[in-house]
Chain A
Amino acid sequence: MKFIRFLKESFQIVIRGSKRYYLWLAFLFILILWGGSGYILQLKQGLLVTNMRDSVSWGFYIGNFTFLVGVAAAAIMLVIPAYIYNWKPLKEVVIFGELLAISAVIMCILFVIVDVGNPLRLWHMVPLIGKLNIPASLLGWDSLVLSLYFLLNVVVVSYLLNTLFYKREINNSKLTPLILLSIPIAIGIHTVTAFLYNGFAGRPYWNSALLAPKFLASAFCSGPAVLIILFQILKKTTTFEIKQEAIWKIAELMAYAMFINLFFFGAEVFKEVYSNTEHLVHLKYLFIGVGENRDIVMYGWLSLIISVIAFLLFLIPATRKNVVTLNIGAILIWMGVYIEKGIALLTPGFTPDTLGQIYIYRPSAIEVKVSVAIFAIGFLIFTMMTKIAIAIIFEDFNIDSLRRKKALPAES
Chain B
Amino acid sequence: MSVKKTVLSPNKLNRRNFLKAAAVTSSTAALAACGSKEAREEFLQRDFRSLSQDQIAKVLQRLETQYEREYGVKFTVSAKEPIPETFFGYALDISRCIGCRKCVYACVEENNQTLEPQMHWIQVLEMEKEKGVDFLHSNLYYDHEEVPHEGHFYLPVQCQQCKNPPCVKACPVGATWATEDGIVVVDYNWCIGCRSCMAACPYGARHYNWGKIQLEAENINPDTHYLGNRPRYKGAVEKCTFCIQRVREGRYPKCVEVCPVGARKFGNLLDKDSEIRYILENKRVLILKEELNTQPKFYYFYGT
Contact = CB atoms under 8 A, between A and B. Distances in A.
The 9 A-B pairs at the shortest CB distance, nearest first, are namely: A117-B235, A117-B193, A202-B202, A356-B135, A48-B211, A140-B172, A139-B172, A133-B174, A57-B198
Contact of B138 (A54, A119, A136, A356): A356
A48 B137 contact: no
Interface stretch (A19-27, A69-77, A122-130, A221-229): A122-130
A86 to B, nearest CB: 42
B172 A133 contact: yes
Contact of A124 (B26, B135, B175): B175
B19 A355 contact: no
A355 B204 contact: yes
A137 to B, nearest CB: 4
B100 interface: no
B195 A278 contact: no
Interface stretch (B63-71, B78-86, B163-171, B219-227): B163-171
Contacts of A129: 19-20, 22-23
12 contacts: A57-B198, A117-B192, A117-B195, A117-B236, A119-B192, A123-B23, A124-B190, A129-B23, A131-B50, A137-B170, A137-B173, A356-B134
Given A143-B172, A203-B202, 20 more contacts: A45-B211, A47-B210, A48-B210, A48-B211, A53-B208, A116-B192, A117-B191, A117-B209, A117-B235, A121-B193, A128-B19, A129-B20, A129-B22, A129-B23, A131-B174, A133-B174, A139-B170, A354-B135, A355-B140, A356-B125
Interface in B190-246: 190-196, 198-204, 206-212, 233-236
A108 to B, nearest CB: 14
A360 to B, nearest CB: 14
A237 interface: no
| Most chain A CB atoms below 10 A, which of B157, B200, B206 | B200
Interface in B4-57: 19-20, 22-23, 26-27, 30, 43, 46-47, 50
A286 to B, nearest CB: 16
A112 B192 CA distance: 11
Contacts of B195: 57-58, 115, 117
Interface string A337-366: 000000000000010111111000000000
A52 B194 CA distance: 12
Given A54-B208, A129-B22, A278-B136, A121 B172 contact: no
Chain A contact patch, size range = 35 or more
A120 interface: yes
Contacts of B117: 48, 53
A357 B202 CA distance: 13
B43 A120 contact: yes
Interface in A121-156: 121-125, 128-133, 136-140, 143
B202 A201 contact: yes
A118 interface: yes
Interface in A53-108: 53-55, 57-58
B27 A355 contact: no
A197 to B, nearest CB: 8
B172 A53 contact: no
Contact of A352 (B50, B136, B207): B136
A46 interface: yes
B123 A354 contact: no
Nearest to A142: B172
Given A54-B204, A123-B26, A278-B136, A118 B171 contact: no
A202 B289 contact: yes
Contacts of B191: 117-118, 121
A196 B197 CA distance: 11
A55 to B, nearest CB: 7
Contact of A133 (B26, B27, B173, B199): B173
A356 B136 CA distance: 4
A53 B170 contact: no
Nearest to B47: A131
Contact of A354 (B175, B202, B210): B202
A281 interface: yes
